[in-house]
Chain A
Amino acid sequence: MNIILNGSSREVPDNLTAGGLIFELGLTNTRLALEVNQQIVPRSTFETHHIKPDDKVEIVQAIGGG
Chain B
Amino acid sequence: MSTVMHSQQRPSTDPLVIAGTEYHSRLLVGTGKYRDLEETRAATEASGAEIVTVAIRRTNIGQNPDEPNLLDVISPDHYTLLPNTAGCYTAEDAVRTCRLARELLDGHDLVKLEVLGDETTLFPDIVQTIKATETLVKDGFKIMVYTNDDPIIAKHFEDMGCVAVMPLAAPIGSGLGIRNPYNILTIVENASVPILVDAGVGTASDAAIAMELGCDGVLMNTAIAGARDPLLMASAMKKAIEAGRDAFRAGRIPRKRYASASSPIDGTFF
Contacts and interface: CB of A to CB of B under 8 A. Distances in A.
A27 B59 contact: yes
Nearest to A26: B65
Contacts of A38: 96
Nearest to B92: A38
Interface residues of B, number: 36
A59 B96 contact: no
Interface residues of A, number: 27
A9 to B, nearest CB: 12
B54 interface: yes
B98 to A, nearest CB: 11
- In the A-B complex, the 9 residue pairs with the smallest Cβ-Cβ separation, listed nearest first, are A65-B55, A66-B30, A66-B221, A33-B104, A64-B31, A26-B65, A33-B103, A62-B54, A65-B32
Interface of B: 30-34, 40, 53-59, 61, 65, 69-71, 81, 83-84, 86, 96, 99-101, 103-105, 172-173, 199, 219-222
14 contacts: A26-B65, A27-B59, A29-B65, A32-B59, A35-B100, A60-B56, A60-B59, A62-B101, A62-B104, A65-B54, A65-B57, A66-B31, A66-B55, A66-B222
